[in-house]
Amino acid sequence: MTVTTDDGVRLWASASGRGEPLVLCHGGPGLWDMFEDVAGQLADLATVVRWDQRGCGRSERCAGPWTSERFVADLDAVRRHFGLERMRLLGHSWGAQLALSYALAHPERVSGLVYVAGTGIGPDSDWHDAFVDRLLARLGERPERLARWRELTDRAERSEEEEREWAVLQWSAEFEERERALEHSGRMADPWFGINYECNNVLNAERERSWGTPELYAACRDLDVPVLIVDGAHDIRPRSAVDSLERALPRVRRVVLPDAGHMVWTDDPKGFRRTVAPALR
């Protein structure tokens, strides 16, 4: 189905399952919804609403604008389209940041937030360098994969096929189940819609400017919404970065799944469902 935003951009959306609505916010920025497995795991617990963010995936290609404020407004368009007075949100990675930003802007419209594998509210310096080091170490477990990833990274231009290959190689570092990591990351890229790099670059630059500020910490301390933080212990983004958010929130519970990486529902589907289910009841 199609959700039309207040500035006329068409967003892809889908709803499945039964129960109270749970709206998902996918990672990126610049990617698309890859939550089909999550929707299946939670289908008997919630009506799961999935959507592709502005200019990404199955949504209309557009010229932005690429701002958190605009993406929060788009998420509100999804809420209105499905006739929701209040909604539960589940965001993963960048989508966790988006879901948190929405809750801060419209706490009266959010009944609960599940914050999965985010990076906290501190500056990027809290986690980014360690993330790059761990990414290279993971890829280096198979030297031929690291060599190919470096080759593709250094190319001035990549074909669509090479772009997908590069993404699959990089995403393979996100899974704790190392023997099947390339298989799992290949599923993420099927179907392949292409990465919106302009969206990615501009939103990441915005986060570098605005995250880690006293105003953000103060806003989180005042957030009167129950929040469940879900981490994979082996996420290559240091989980210590999320401590900043946990300390700031007044209504928070945090669960670290010991056998999972960044894609927690793939690495530990039973643990993920067991952890999230109470927040949906």
* Residue 61, domain member (yes or no): yes
Tokens of 40: 């299946």
- Residue ranges with strand state E in 37-124: 47-51, 87-92, 110-116
225: containing domain: 2-126+194-280
- Cβ neighbours of residue 116 under 8 Å, at least 6 residues apart? 90, 91, 92, 93, 96, 229, 230, 231, 264
Q: What pLDDT does 94 receive?
A: 98
Considering only CA atoms, which of 224, 245, 220, 222 is closest in space to residue 108? 224
Q: What pLDDT does 91 receive?
A: 98
* Residue 147, domain member (yes or no): no
Considering only CA atoms, which of 93, 91, 181 is closest in space to residue 141? 181
Q: What pLDDT does 225 receive?
A: 98
* Residue 182, domain member (yes or no): no
* Residue 184, domain member (yes or no): no
Residue by residue, pLDDT tens for the chain (281 residues) are: 999 999 999 999 999 999 999 999 999 999 999 999 999 999 999 999 999 999 999 999 999 999 999 999 999 999 999 999 999 999 999 999 999 999 999 999 999 999 999 999 999 999 999 999 999 999 999 999 999 999 999 999 999 999 999 999 999 999 999 999 999 999 999 999 999 999 999 999 999 999 999 999 999 999 999 999 999 999 999 999 999 999 999 999 999 999 999 999 999 999 999 999 999 98
* Residue 262, domain member (yes or no): yes
Mapping DSSP to helix (H, G, I), strand (E, B) and coil, where does residue 276 land?
A: helix
- Cβ neighbours of residue 216 under 8 Å, at least 6 residues apart? 121, 210
Cα separation of 232 and 49, whole Å? 23
Tokens of 36: 């089909």
For the entire predicted model, the pTM comes to: 0.97
Q: What pLDDT does 281 receive?
A: 82
* Residue 145, domain member (yes or no): no
- Cβ neighbours of residue 7 under 8 Å, at least 6 residues apart? none
The number of domains in the chain is 1
Please report, for the domain that includes residue 113, its CATH number. 3.40.50.1820
* Residue 108, domain member (yes or no): yes
* Residue 265, domain member (yes or no): yes
